[in-house]
Homo-oligomer: A and B are copies of this chain.
């Protein structure tokens, strides 16, 4: 297999998605992010809005974990993860690309041609960025970030045996707030 894949895991508001697109552009390979949603929806037969909302986030806590499970402990969320796994593995087998989020680092853990990246930034820098990117809401940006962090973490930990954001899971982790998006994209492209 001669494809080479970059997976970008990222904290909400860290600019990881933008960095992934920039690195892909530098390397002349496609970047999959929103495009995955379409593919996962097709594969699973689950409606796109549900895929969009639930393909990286779950509500934390045992109650929400239990809700929506059938007699065998199986849920729509599990179907979604199975479809997501299939779509991401097929992509990685088909072509060189950048894949944003969706536990792709874990899903491709037995592929030896993957560069796994984690992008993070301080709460302050991320709050600044989400207000610029997505506008103000009634909710304080720091509270929005904390809620999103919690959901992504819970999702990652439900479907993998790893802790989200731990250095050991990634070949490279970068602080985009301190280094800037451009330099992060350059470093990633240079390691490819």
24 A-B residue pairs with Cβ-Cβ distance under 8 Å, sorted by A, are A118-B167, A118-B173, A120-B167, A120-B168, A165-B167, A166-B166, A166-B167, A167-B167, A168-B175, A170-B173, A171-B178, A171-B179, A172-B172, A172-B173, A172-B175, A172-B179, A172-B187, A179-B191, A183-B191, A186-B190, A187-B187, A187-B190, A187-B191, A190-B190
Q: Are B179 and A175 in contact (CB under 8 A)?
A: no
- Within A100-116, the residues touching B (CB, 8 Å) are none
Closest to A114 in B: B178
Chain A 158-190 near chain B by CB (<8 Å), digits 1 or 0: 000000011110111111001100010011001
Number of copies: 2
Q: Are A172 and B171 in contact (CB under 8 A)?
A: no
Q: Are A175 and B171 in contact (CB under 8 A)?
A: yes
Q: Are A171 and B174 in contact (CB under 8 A)?
A: yes
Closest to A173 in B: B173
Closest to A168 in B: B120
Query: Complex: how many Å from CA A67 to CA B45?
Result: 64
